[in-house]
A and B are shown apart, each in its own frame.
Chain A
Amino acid sequence: MQVLQIVISGIAQGCIYGLIALGFVLIYKATETVNFAQGELMMLGAFAGFALMALFGLPFWLAALLAIVGMALCGMGVERIVVRPILGQPAFSIVMLTIGLGFVARGVITMIPAIGTDTHALPVPYKDQVWNVGTLVLNVEQLVVIAATAALSALLYLMFRYSKLGIAMQAASQNQLAAYYMGIPVKRLNGLVWGLAAAVAAIAGLLLAPITFVHANMGLIGLKAFPAAVVGGFGSLPGAIVGGIVIGVVESLSGFYLPEGFKDIAAYIVVLVMLMVKPNGLFGEKLRKKV
């Protein structure tokens, strides 16, 4: 029973990793760039939700919705202002650029008086509730994370499968030039992808906030989402969620069974092994260049 308990909390943590990894993968698929500021976008989303609830007294659902929409606009703005001008330059430039963005986001948050430097608890309606199922004690916060991740994945699946926008995004991610020739506005789509990634990050932040806390350095969890994205295969959306869950479960199991210290680096050991054994990840596509 205890094992099941640990696995469930691992899955909940893994869903958060998976959602952040989803942001990486969305942006990577669309623009072939890696956004190192994804964790910071999550942090900003959590802070936006907190500020709306605490300062303006909005109810949780409204605040969450506004935070998600706000972050989506913020993501589109970032894409338009700083990312688009250097599109086409070496991938490493964008890595450094997004590292810089992460620094800026963290710095700006600490400068907001009375909010930025403290640690806050997000007052969600389902806080500190538990369900007893048999001998299992289930934390509602964790169940909400899992349920929300499942719902979001389903929503994204439907969008990419059936909506015109989703299909256009798939086309652009496979071949930008060909998609452009087919009349797809690739630049505008890239902006939308950044917005989508930021919105997903904001959702992750709002889901994570009740479990941990809202603080300026919570974005560093994004560094653990990289292993998740790699384990799932860096170009695969379902892979990101699966990879996140794998990392989350391994982490919580190693925290229980292995000596102290292994919990923090379990994700990185998994990713190193994965890169050595199967660099394309669990769901990664294997592409070969034809000469």
Chain B
Amino acid sequence: MRFIFKTRYEQDIVLAKHGGHVFWYSLLLLVLVAAPWLFSEYWLAQLTFVLIYSIVGLGLMLLAGYTGQFSLGHAAFLGVGAYAHAALTNAGVPFVIALAAAAAISAFVGVIVSVPALRLKGIYLGIATLAFGFIVEEVFARWERVTGGNAGMHIKAPDLFGWKLDTATSFYGLCLVLTVLATLAILNLLRSPTGRAFVAIRDSEISAQSMGIHLARFKTLSFAISAALAGVGGALYAHKLQFISPDQFSILQSIELLLMVVIGGLGSVHGVFLGAIFLITMPQVIALGKDVLPAAIGQAPGLQGLVYGLVLIGFVLFEPLGLYGRWLKMRTWFQIFPFYRRGLFRRQKAFQKSDRLK
């Protein structure tokens, strides 16, 4: 069992708490850098998708897992980023500027959404973001001059200062760099006063307010950062698929993004990556299962939805902390062997904590 003996206050907030962290995360980074030489082309593409979804998931995790604001229309931000980036890139704007502009436009849209969100809580916020998502999807389909309407639009390969990133490997490198930057930014944000304010708002708005946190400002900020990350993710998503159309940013995409953070584990940065891996590998597992199952079940178009639904129900019922929570439990079991108790992670039930009387 590891015991960290703290001698300085800074040790409370350092990113790498102990040698184990340094070792394992360095190893992970090494494997990721070496991935193009280790994995086949196909798995590299899947890994790229995991990275892209992780960037989007980081944003959603900040909003849903750390600020407690649930967005059922997050695919709209993804779409705004993707379309803004695609339109700018096709107009000849350099990659870096287009990416920054996509993030900025998404963030701006996020600020607009947060205006009604400031007065809303819980399910009302969910419905507002849901409505917003539908409206944005319709705008994509109708604003044909910019978005190409339902026919969709193509996007050129990214061009980084004259260096064309048109191979799978180079694009993977770009995604990896951006993911690492985004992760570090989020981790840094979470240990800063701003991040603490987000968590305080999640846990109790009233007590956060009494501690001098400006609710409106921080909620807007959370929406903006979250939308900006979704925009960056959207831009990469557009490049990866090279083709975008409005139906890629529908309510189902929003639900998949939520599924990702819920299954990964709300309120943990690790959960984002675990959730993204789950989201990308699940269709492959289902495809494998299709051949084994009888035809009526295996060939049904709803099979994927059924499996997602069952997994979601299973996690909500039996493992509300998500994949990361499961990992924490396993680790704790080994760390304090043989003293693990079943109730160690049990959450308190909040009966009669009414939303209506707030």
Residues of A near any B CB (own CB < 8 A): 28, 32, 34, 82, 85-97, 99-111, 113, 116-117, 176-177, 216, 223, 226-227, 230, 234-235, 260-261, 264-265, 267-269, 271-272, 275-276, 279, 287-289
**Would you list which residues of chain B between 102 and 150 have a CB under 8 Å from chain A?**
115-116, 119-120, 122-124, 126-128, 130-132, 134-135, 138, 141-142
Q: Is the Cβ of B302 less than 8 Å from the Cβ of A109?
A: yes
Nearest-CB residue, chain A, relative to B356: A287
Cβ contacts under 8 Å, A28 to chain B:
123
Q: Is the Cβ of A34 less than 8 Å from the Cβ of B123?
A: yes
* A271 touching B127 in the complex, CB below 8 Å, given contacts A99-B312, A276-B116: yes
Q: Is the Cβ of A103 less than 8 Å from the Cβ of B124?
A: no
A selection of 9 A-B contacts at a CB cut-off of 8 Å is A87-B349, A89-B347, A91-B355, A95-B123, A100-B308, A111-B303, A275-B128, A279-B119, A279-B120
Cβ contacts under 8 Å, A226 to chain B:
127, 130-131
Q: Is the Cβ of B127 less than 8 Å from the Cβ of A101?
A: no
Q: Is the Cβ of B309 less than 8 Å from the Cβ of A100?
A: yes
Nearest-CB residue, chain A, relative to B306: A107
Cβ contacts under 8 Å, B316 to chain A:
86, 93-94, 96-97, 100
Q: Give complex CA distance A85, B314 in Å.
A: 12
Q: Is the Cβ of A223 less than 8 Å from the Cβ of B130?
A: yes
Q: Give complex CA distance A55, B10 in Å.
A: 72
Q: Is the Cβ of B120 less than 8 Å from the Cβ of A275?
A: yes
Q: Is the Cβ of B130 less than 8 Å from the Cβ of A230?
A: no
Determine how close the nearest CB of chain B comes to the CB of A170; give it in whole angstroms: 15
B313 part of interface (Cβ distance < 8 Å):
yes
* A103 touching B251 in the complex, CB below 8 Å, given contacts A88-B351, A268-B135: no
Nearest-CB residue, chain A, relative to B119: A279
Q: Is the Cβ of B124 less than 8 Å from the Cβ of A104?
A: no
Q: Is the Cβ of B310 less than 8 Å from the Cβ of A227?
A: no
* A117 touching B300 in the complex, CB below 8 Å, given contacts A91-B123, A96-B316: yes
Q: Is the Cβ of B131 less than 8 Å from the Cβ of A272?
A: yes
**Would you list which residues of chain B between 254 and 309 have a CB under 8 Å from chain A?**
255, 258-259, 262, 296-297, 300-309
* A107 touching B305 in the complex, CB below 8 Å, given contacts A95-B126, A289-B357: yes
Determine how close the nearest CB of chain A comes to the CB of B63; give it in whole angstroms: 12
Determine how close the nearest CB of chain B comes to the CB of A24; give it in whole angstroms: 9
Nearest-CB residue, chain A, relative to B143: A261
Q: Give complex CA distance A269, B132 in Å.
A: 8
Q: Is the Cβ of B317 less than 8 Å from the Cβ of A97?
A: yes
Cβ contacts under 8 Å, A82 to chain B:
313, 317
Residues of B near any A CB (own CB < 8 A): 70, 115-116, 119-120, 122-124, 126-128, 130-132, 134-135, 138, 141-142, 251, 255, 258-259, 262, 296-297, 300-313, 316-317, 320, 347, 349-352, 354-358
Q: Is the Cβ of A107 less than 8 Å from the Cβ of B351?
A: no
Q: Is the Cβ of A88 less than 8 Å from the Cβ of B350?
A: yes
Interface of B, helix, strand, loop or mixed by DSSP:
helix
Nearest-CB residue, chain A, relative to B318: A85
Q: Is the Cβ of B349 less than 8 Å from the Cβ of A101?
A: no
Q: Give complex CA distance A97, B316 in Å.
A: 6
* A271 touching B131 in the complex, CB below 8 Å, given contacts A96-B258, A107-B306, A230-B124: yes
Determine how close the nearest CB of chain A comes to the CB of B5; give it in whole angstroms: 36
Q: Give complex CA distance A103, B262 in Å.
A: 16
Q: Is the Cβ of A107 less than 8 Å from the Cβ of B317?
A: no
Q: Is the Cβ of A272 less than 8 Å from the Cβ of B309?
A: no
Q: Give complex CA distance A279, B357 in Å.
A: 14
Cβ contacts under 8 Å, A269 to chain B:
131, 135
Q: Which 5 A-B pairs have the closest CB atoms?
A: A107-B306, A103-B309, A110-B302, A100-B312, A107-B302
Q: Is the Cβ of A113 less than 8 Å from the Cβ of B124?
A: no
Nearest-CB residue, chain A, relative to B314: A100
Cβ contacts under 8 Å, B258 to chain A:
96, 99
* A234 touching B357 in the complex, CB below 8 Å, given contacts A92-B70, A104-B306: no
Q: Is the Cβ of B305 less than 8 Å from the Cβ of A106?
A: yes
Q: Is the Cβ of A108 less than 8 Å from the Cβ of B306?
A: yes
Q: Is the Cβ of B356 less than 8 Å from the Cβ of A235?
A: yes
Nearest-CB residue, chain B, relative to A34: B123
Nearest-CB residue, chain A, relative to B298: A111
**Residue in contact with B310 in the complex, picked from A85, A104, A116, CB distance below 8 Å:** A104
Nearest-CB residue, chain A, relative to B126: A95
Q: Give complex CA distance A272, B132 in Å.
A: 8
Q: Is the Cβ of B262 less than 8 Å from the Cβ of A96?
A: yes
Determine how close the nearest CB of chain B comes to the CB of A233; give it in whole angstroms: 11
Determine how close the nearest CB of chain A comes to the CB of B270; give it in whole angstroms: 19
**Residue in contact with A275 in the complex, picked from B124, B313, B320, B354, CB distance below 8 Å:** B124
Q: Is the Cβ of A90 less than 8 Å from the Cβ of B352?
A: no
Q: Is the Cβ of A110 less than 8 Å from the Cβ of B301?
A: yes
* Known A107-B309, A265-B134; 13 more pairs at CB < 8 Å: A32-B355, A82-B317, A87-B351, A88-B351, A100-B316, A101-B313, A107-B300, A107-B306, A111-B297, A223-B134, A234-B123, A235-B356, A267-B131
Q: Is the Cβ of A279 less than 8 Å from the Cβ of B138?
A: no
Q: Give complex CA distance A88, B349 in Å.
A: 5
Most central of A110, A117, A234 by chain B CB within 10 Å: A110
Q: Is the Cβ of B309 less than 8 Å from the Cβ of A101?
A: yes
Q: Is the Cβ of B302 less than 8 Å from the Cβ of A275?
A: no
* A116 touching B123 in the complex, CB below 8 Å, given contacts A93-B316, A265-B134: no
